Amino acid sequence: MAEFVKDVMTPGVVAVRPDASLVEAAQLMRTQDIGDVLVADGQRVVGVLTDRDITVRAVAEGVDPLTVSAGSVCTSDPVLVAPEDPVSAAAALMRAHAVRRLPVVEDGLPVGMVSLGDLAESENPDSVLAEISRAEPDGRTEPDDRTEPGGRGAL
């Protein structure tokens, strides 16, 4: 298993402002082929918004995704890790807070994300969870048909 978060994280982040509409966030997720975005106010990460948040906390409630902001639907004050934190600490935080992904922040700025799948792939690349994490989202490609071995799907 890798020792530090920086060794397993997916570098780079996609973020929206807290006042961005849910439609803007969903379009960004579609364009980037990801299932979550960070919500950041320019100074710090204020939340994590997932496609499930949009579906369950907004659309299922009947609110207008054009007028509802990402900041009002996201999971606020997310648990954060640093690139130099031990992988075991990230795993413990995921377990303690029942989350599948953690923003990775350095000097207050987001630099990546670490997911449960990233940890699974690091621990045991042949595990079912690791294979699922490498597969293309939405089942578009079977794991054995990948053209990029070790490639990561959406977080």
Degrees to nearest 5, angle at CA 81 with 79 and 84: 170
**Cβ–Cβ contacts within 10 Å for residue 58, how many?**
20
Q: Tell me, what's the pLDDT at 147?
A: 37
Taking the CB of residue 104, how many other CB atoms lie within 10 A of it?
25
Q: Which letter does DSSP use for residue 61 in this model?
A: G
Q: What is the mean pLDDT of residues 134-152?
A: 46
- Residue-wise pLDDT tens digits, 26-73: 999 999 999 999 999 987 999 999 999 999 999 999 999 999 999 999
Q: At what angle do helices 87-97 and 116-123 cross, to 10 degrees?
A: 130
Q: State the pairing for strand pair 45-50/10-11.
A: unpaired
Here the tokens at position 65 are 């995704």
Class of domain 5-145: alpha beta
What are the pLDDT digits (tens) for 76-94?
A: 999 999 999 999 999 999 9
* Residues contacting 31, CB < 8 A, separation 6+: none
If one compares 102 and 130, the residue with the highest pLDDT of the two is: 102
pLDDT given for residue 120 in this prediction? 84
Per-domain residue ranges for the chain?
Answer: 5-145
Provide the pLDDT for residue 66.
Answer: 95
E strand or H helix at 106 = strand 101-106
Name, in order, each residue with C-beta under 8 angstroms of 143's C-beta and a sequence gap of 6 or more.
Answer: 131, 132, 134, 135
